Amino acid sequence: MLSRRVILKFLGKTSSRRNASNIWPSRITNPEYSERRQRLLEKLISTLKPGEKNVLVVLKGAERFFIAPDVPNSFRQCSHFRYLTGVTSPGCYYIMSAQVDDDQPKEQQRILVADRRTAVEELWEGQLPSESDWASTAQFSDLQPSKQLPAVLEKLCDQQTAVFVSESASSAISAIVGKKCFSLRSLAPFVDQLRLTKSSSEMDSMRDVCTLGAQTMCATIASSRNTHMENAIVGLLEYEGRRRGSEKQAYPPVVASGSRANTIHYLEANNDIHPNDCVLVDAGCDLNGYVSDITRCFPISGNWNDHQRSLYEALLFCHEQLIEYAASMEKVRLSYLYRRMMELLAASMGELGLIRQGDNASMLKAAEMLCPHHVSHYLGMDVHDTPSVSRDIELPSNVCFTIEPGVYVPLDWPRKEWRGIGFRIEDDVATLAGGGCELLTSSVPRSTQHIQQLMNQWH
């Protein structure tokens, strides 16, 4: 049984009221940004071809996105840009240039391209950070307005220059320097490799945001009993996260009741919840540039019926076996986790009677029909982090990823008692030095008993 004290701890109510910025300070220091840039330059230099004597890196930050004329959407900085510069203002470029001698960078230049706001723009949009605030993390040697970008690039580029650009900048930059440089390459795979393995301060950032995400999910589940609209739960997620210090939701949440849970990325959340429905909630928090990603399912009435309980517990068995499997691996491979998920789903759903017992190949095929997605993805500054990194590599320590088996029963499935039920259970995990894993979201209840108790605690 979960005591009231334990539930209060899950909900994040044991600490006194404080300003959110004091509860969750940024963990990344200014020297760490500098170290990241240096490591990136060294990695790029190691890939230079004969004849390439200069490296030019062009990073483009995110632009403000407008949902209607003069109506800006919520802004989030490009994760590559923030990772290397710490600058969170929109519409910036960051340029690094280095001459190479004996495979070592020398005569480096670092230029921030950014526009200051006019008095009228500040009236409507507020002030940008000061130049000294930008310089504290980005440590640029020169600040130029955006109109000078072409001239800056042309000055730094010649036939001995290898230019590495972020994908968002590639078309614009290639038009300026494409004919002048030795080669033009994507920067993303190199930054992804750096971002895959987290520093100690990044691991603390992930623990912060996963703790915040866990508290938010617990509080939302506890407050959702007998809710009549999916959108009301979206509002609870926003409220419970923001009041605990979340800057925003990590991604548009999935709040899917009944058979809509079979749409894996169902985002509309505009339907009624029926009294006997289960609800699938896939949501995360965004804090200091890092994100969490958690999925839980629960009966909106607060009580599971027999078919919901039996299917959920079969999936929970798979989930917990996968956590143990990951913890037992000397080196985790996400591809191995996926293979193990399919084996567990085939066995557990076969024992339940959801799929027909038969040869191994036919049962695995049925399991793939019930769960058409991978069991894991990398996690960090983005919810689907470092996408260019293979899921078939041995992971070093301090890599964050998800474990998320699911089962989605079509409406025409032969066993009608489970038709239309969709469940997914997702937790955030990190590899440890020497093997094993740390479960970052362990405080969110998973068992049918504990979820039911959490929902009925306040009623």
pTM (2 d.p.): 0.94
Instruction: Tell me the per-residue pLDDT of 318-340, one tens digit each, with 9 for 90 and over.
Output: 999 999 999 999 999 999 999 99
CA distance between the termini of the chain: 16
Parallel, antiparallel, or unpaired for β 290-291 and 285-287? antiparallel
At residue 172, φ and ψ (nearest 5 deg) are: -65, -40
Per-residue pLDDT band for 17 (boundaries 50, 70, 90) equals very low
Instruction: Tell me the per-residue pLDDT of 191-228, one tens digit each, with 9 for 90 and over.
Output: 999 999 999 999 999 999 999 999 999 999 999 999 99
- Sorted by where each starts, the structural domains of the chain and their CATH numbers stand as 22-195 (3.40.350.10), 197-456 (3.90.230.10)
d(CA 442, CA 121): 45
* Beta-ladder partners of 95: 58, 111
Per-residue pLDDT band for 4 (boundaries 50, 70, 90) equals low
Find out whether 191 and 96 touch, Cβ atoms under 8 Å.
Answer: no
Per-residue pLDDT band for 19 (boundaries 50, 70, 90) equals low
Per-residue pLDDT band for 1 (boundaries 50, 70, 90) equals low
User: What integer is the mean pLDDT of 60-75?
Assistant: 92
Rounded to the nearest integer, the mean pLDDT of the chain is 93
Instruction: Tell me the per-residue pLDDT of 30-47, one tens digit each, with 9 for 90 and over.
Output: 999 999 999 999 999 999
